Amino acid sequence: MNEQASGHRAGPVRSAAARDAILAATARLFQGQGYDHLTIEGIAKEAGVGKQTIYRWWPSRGALIAECLTDGRLIPIDFDVPYSGDLLRDVEEWLGSVLAILETPHGAMLLRSLVAAAAEDAEVGDHLSASLGVDRHLAERLAAGIRDGQLAADAPVELLGHAVLGTIIVQSLTRRPDVAGALRELVRYLVAAR
Amino acid sequence: MNEQASGHRAGPVRSAAARDAILAATARLFQGQGYDHLTIEGIAKEAGVGKQTIYRWWPSRGALIAECLTDGRLIPIDFDVPYSGDLLRDVEEWLGSVLAILETPHGAMLLRSLVAAAAEDAEVGDHLSASLGVDRHLAERLAAGIRDGQLAADAPVELLGHAVLGTIIVQSLTRRPDVAGALRELVRYLVAAR
């Protein structure tokens, strides 16, 4: 049954289109101008909707950014960590995928904007960490490394993930030149069986 | 010779007072409202000077925050790392001083604001890292640990400092409850002779 054709119940369909337009506008403006210049008013104008339409679904620009992250509109979602049996190689492969996105000039700016957004809105921090696969995939891969005897039994797997993500963030905030090289060195120290 | 009394050369004296008023106003507003609501206009009003007076000395609000950091107006400067001969104990003592400042609700908000400021302005990131003693004191203490045979010879000391600072930042951005407990666990893993 085509409910649209009846003229009734068109609301949800329009809503889905508006939702998509709003998130697309958010992603476009955020990537172009960064978090500092992102306003609900600007997003409404870009999406061709009223500000109230946005506030009906999202309480803040941070909530919009968080949903863009979940939707994979800013960075690809759910970076997997492979399992080849070689812990260091697998973590380095994950790191390569993450840095391929974040180490370009555009990606570095995007990361800094996401960090600024996360500073204001806790949801963004959680979604950023989740999108990059830090909390789940990386922690699970490290835990498997403990089971395989390739990592110390007392290694704090979730914290090591945060240390890797945090180091990427610090290197980015202080505009270090060779983030990939530095992170490979750190990961070798953290992960290599010693 | 009192140059002020002569009525000449009062400029530099007035400038020093204006500089102090501007930095004090910046620190007060930043601590009260965070980076997001900080404007040059608001600082000028709070300090009782014109906007042009501020722009004559500082190109941006990030530069003002960086100078507030250098002056110790936001967090105490130059966190030392003691040397007792016991690397883990010394790093934990440094960590305790840093977290005593950053783990209060006010300190956590301040850290998030500094991270937001650093996302916009590279100078802030460098000054934040320097203020906490990460780049110099902590790296030097870790290097001494290598010489004392308490840390692996290939330990990347500067990167380990960034990993510790970065983990504090990630925990703060994702509003984790027990940052001190988590960091002690991480530092034990990173530093303990194994």
What's the ipTM? 0.86
Cβ–Cβ under 8 Å, residues B47 and B28: no
| Residue A19 CA: distances (Å) to CA of A10, A22, A126, B115 | 14, 5, 22, 30
The C-alpha atoms of residue A74 and residue A152 are separated, in whole angstroms, by 35
Cα radius of gyration (chain B): 20
Q: Does A119 touch chain B (CB under 8 A)?
A: yes
Question: Closest-CA residue in chain A for B191?
Answer: A190
Residues of chain B in contact with residue A159, where contact means CB-CB under 8 angstroms, are: 167, 182, 185-186, 189
Q: What is the pLDDT of residues A51-75, one digit of tens each?
A: 999 999 998 898 999 899 989 999 8
Residues of chain B in contact with residue A171, where contact means CB-CB under 8 angstroms, are: 162
Q: What is the pLDDT of residues A111-123, one digit of tens each?
A: 999 999 999 888 8
The C-alpha atoms of residue B138 and residue B83 are separated, in whole angstroms, by 11
pLDDT of residue A76: 83
pLDDT of residue A11: 55
Cβ separation of A159 and B167 shorter than 8 Å? yes
pLDDT of residue B26: 96
Q: Does B36 touch chain A (CB under 8 A)?
A: yes
Q: Does B115 touch chain A (CB under 8 A)?
A: yes
Cβ–Cβ under 8 Å, residues B168 and B179: yes
Residues of chain B in contact with residue A118, where contact means CB-CB under 8 angstroms, are: 173-174
E strands in B118-159: none
Taking the alpha carbons of B70, B75, B77, B78 in that order, is the dihedral positive or negative?
A: negative
* Residues A181/A183/A143/A118 CA torsion (nearest 10 deg): -140
pLDDT of residue B42: 97
pLDDT per residue, tens digit, chain B (194 aa), is 444 444 444 456 668 899 999 999 999 999 998 888 899 999 999 999 999 999 999 988 989 998 999 899 998 877 899 999 999 999 999 999 999 988 888 888 889 999 999 998 888 988 888 888 898 899 999 999 999 999 999 999 999 999 999 999 999 999 888 999 999 999 999 987 44
The vertex-B155 CA angle with B153 and B159, nearest 5°, equals 155
Cβ–Cβ under 8 Å, residues A99 and A111: no
**Domain range list for chain A:** 10-60, 87-191
* Fold of the CATH domain A10-60: Arc Repressor Mutant, subunit A (1.10.10)
The percentage of residues in chain A with a pLDDT greater than 70, rounded to a whole number, is 92
pLDDT of residue A122: 86
Helix (H) / strand (E) containing B106: helix B105-120
Superfamily of domain B10-70 in the CATH hierarchy = Homeodomain-like (1.10.10.60)
Chain A, residues 75-104, CB within 8 A of chain B, namely: none
pLDDT of residue B147: 96
Q: What is the pLDDT of residues B39-62, one digit of tens each?
A: 999 999 999 999 999 999 998 898
Residues of chain B in contact with residue A128, where contact means CB-CB under 8 angstroms, are: 173
The C-alpha atoms of residue B12 and residue A72 are separated, in whole angstroms, by 54
pLDDT of residue B90: 96
The C-alpha atoms of residue A100 and residue A95 are separated, in whole angstroms, by 8
* Average pLDDT in chain A: 88
Report whether pLDDT(A8) > 50: no
Report whether pLDDT(A4) > 60: no
Alpha helices in chain A (DSSP H): 10-33, 40-47, 51-57, 61-70, 87-102, 105-120, 122-131, 139-147, 157-173, 179-191
Q: Which amino acid is at A7?
A: G
Distance of CA A143 to the CA centre of its chain: 22
A27 CA: distance to closest CA in chain B (Å): 18
Report whether pLDDT(A43) > 50: yes
Read off the pLDDT of each residue in A72-88 and give the average, rounded to a whole number.
Answer: 90
| Residue A60 CA: distances (Å) to CA of A38, A51, A132 | 11, 11, 23
